[in-house]
A and B are shown apart, each in its own frame.
Chain A
Amino acid sequence: MTNGWSVARALTDPGSVAALDATGWTHLLSAARALSLIGTLAEVLADAPIPPDVARVFADVRHSNVAGQRQALWEAECARMALAEYPGRVVLLKGTAFAAAGYDAALGRSIGDLDILVDRGGLDQVEGLLLEAGWEWVKPDPYDDAYYREWMHELPPLIHAERDRMIDVHHTILPLTAGPTPDAAALIADARALPSGLYALSPADIICHAAAHLIADGDLSGGMRNLWDIDRLVRQFVVEEEGFSETLAERAKLHGLTDAVGRALRLSAQLFGTPIVFRRKSESRANAAQSDPGLGLSPENSRVSTSDTLFLRRITAVDGWGRKTRKLTRQGFYIRSHLLRMPPAMLARHLWTKWRKGHRG
């Protein structure tokens, strides 16, 4: 039976695809597409022996990869030019940041919207400059607009009229109604300069953001891709960044994301064999003796909990037709995503407003 695990296996053990027949390939490709991992799969299997019809599909996908990343970087450049007058830092987030920083996680990654982070105090200026440069509002609905501005971690999405590309302007990395309150000022202060003059989050903060997005925010619909990002980034940072485990533990604590980062790392270790298990600061000294340089392996922390299993069930819920499966599990996580974002009374008010709108047509 094809599901998310089949895609994880092909990504982590490219040799394993040699055993696939035509049906196996067909299902793998559809599942990978549905999980937004087809671009990655095409790059990972670039040198693996694959049947000719699969090679043709991958060739198309790899063309799209190149064009997609070029477009994403161009969009970032357009934003940089539009925001030239803004004196603060403009920090790229997610896929565009990986591509701009040349991280391994960018390989084959699809990039949709442009996500940037700026200081909350500069939001008005940034918004004004973007509107001047040809971006416009996507959601004209006053309730949605007000909701975004009051409670969300980003402005309502803007779209560029000519290039038809969206930009999400963040002032922090989690909705203001969520439990943890990441230190947005520290995120911006620690960001690293890119050659273009834009910034990317520091390596540890990139992991914190990815984990926050995955565990403490949405309904996990992009979970596999998200965890693959984390896997690739961690593998790279463990080698390239001195004391990465410790830094990550400190930053996660600072942002109130210790649980989310721990969970994300356990899940990516399960799916992709990510060679690190996150430790809390207090445990690091005790385990220091047995750990490899940069790797903090603690059996206690790496144990997979029942709820982890539930997360994995949700994240891998796809079939060989690219359909979402396990409806109940998915619905459970959908409800969870709303509960995470809003206290019950607020959620009830929100759903009531949305329901009435729906019935007005």
Chain B
Amino acid sequence: MRHSCFITVGPARFRIGSDWRAPIDQLRQLYSDYPLDEGVPDFTVRLQATSALRRVVRPQVAIAGDFTLPDAVPLPLEQGLLAAEMAMNLQMALGWRRHLLLHASAVSRNGRAVIMTGVSGAGKSTLSALLGERGWRFLGDEFVLLDPDTGMIVPFPRPVSLKNTAISAMEREVDDDTRFGPVMRDTPKGTIRHLRPRTEAVQLMARETRPALLLFPRFGYPRAVRRVDEAESFVRLTQASTNYVALGERGFDALTGFVRAMSACAIDYADGEEGVEMVERLWSEQGAKTGARAAAA
């Protein structure tokens, strides 16, 4: 294709080709901290014009690549970066088999990870971005990769996809303007702006971490905490996984091991500050329990 680049995120290397220069330039900018070296990619993504005419006149980006959805709606060229991100997500969701893929965000501290999962709009992405600015290592806001053999979390720290009100919240939080991508308005998901994680998160992305706490956050509700048992966690995570069925028995073993290895809570919170505070508190209690258990043993 006319324009192309390679991007490596965690264990996955992408080759992105485009009929236009702009999306590739934007990707290079947004991913400037990431390894961009060429090599045999895990996935190929194509941003291609819906027709020869549409390359020039009111250009429309069709999302294509190794894996495609038959009814994917093309996006205007101004949203080319979003198209690339969606296409990369799609490749992972449909093609990745090395890990159990959970639709979740994650951060870690002292080699122990908090995994946050929920439906779109539950706030898992923003919460992980906030924590990533406040002393936690950001592991990813879209997919959590669980190694079926070791039970470890493999970081996949893509740029955070901030939506609507989360954009201004993170603009207040982050001083460095160069970490933000372009503002894309009127996308199918509203206004979107990407935020590149802190450099350390990218530099450490090959380092795996052990899962320690599973949260089901819900943004915009009065504060509440509820224990979630293994069975409920398991069922909710099968729904949050894009490749649970495809992995067969490996997926089942990985997921049962995962929900048994840690405690889980559903948390409702009214705003970001409250969310961060609740995660910190649960984390400390969890640490105290782990410490007590270690001491008892």
**Which A residues are closer than 8 A to B by beta carbons?**
22-23, 25-26, 29-30, 33, 51, 53-54, 56-57, 59-60, 63-64, 66-67, 70, 321-323
> How far, in Å, is A99 (CB) from chain B's closest CB?
16
> How far, in Å, is B84 (CB) from chain A's closest CB?
15
Q: CB within 8 A of A26: which of B41, B48, B246, B248? A: B41
Q: CB within 8 A of B66: which of A33, A54, A56, A66? A: A33
Q: Within 8 Å CB of A26, what residues of B?
A: 15, 40-41, 44
**Minimum CB distance partner of A64 in chain B:** B97
Known: A22-B38, A33-B66, A60-B97. A321 touches B44 (CB 8 A): yes
Per-position binary interface string of chain B over residues 229-256, scored 1 when its CB falls under 8 Å from any chain A CB and 0 otherwise: 0000000000000000011100000000
Q: Within 8 Å CB of B44, what residues of A?
A: 26, 29-30, 33, 321-322
A-B pairs with beta carbons under 8 Å apart, 27 shown: A22-B38, A22-B39, A22-B40, A25-B40, A26-B15, A26-B40, A26-B44, A29-B40, A30-B44, A33-B66, A53-B13, A53-B42, A54-B40, A57-B42, A59-B98, A60-B96, A63-B97, A63-B247, A64-B246, A66-B248, A67-B246, A67-B247, A67-B248, A321-B46, A322-B44, A322-B46, A322-B64
Q: Within 8 Å CB of B46, what residues of A?
A: 321-323
Interface secondary structure of A, over-half rule = helix
Q: Within 8 Å CB of B42, what residues of A?
A: 53, 56-57, 60
> How far, in Å, is A77 (CB) from chain B's closest CB?
16
Say whether B40 contacts A51, CB under 8 Å. yes
Q: Within 8 Å CB of B247, what residues of A?
A: 63, 67
Q: CB within 8 A of A60: which of B15, B64, B65, B98? A: B98
Q: Within 8 Å CB of B13, what residues of A?
A: 53
Q: Which 10 A-B pairs have the closest CB atoms?
A: A60-B97, A63-B97, A53-B40, A25-B40, A30-B44, A33-B66, A22-B40, A67-B246, A26-B40, A54-B40
How far is A341 from B13 in the complex, measured between Cα atoms in Å? Answer: 44
B17 at the interface (CB under 8 A from A): yes
Say whether B1 contacts A321, CB under 8 Å. yes
B95 at the interface (CB under 8 A from A): yes
Q: Within 8 Å CB of A64, what residues of B?
A: 97, 246
How far is A321 from B48 in the complex, measured between Cα atoms in Å? Answer: 11
**Minimum CB distance partner of B52 in chain A:** A327
How far is A64 from B66 in the complex, measured between Cα atoms in Å? Answer: 14
How far is A321 from B95 in the complex, measured between Cα atoms in Å? Answer: 17
> How far, in Å, is A28 (CB) from chain B's closest CB?
9
**Minimum CB distance partner of B94 in chain A:** A64
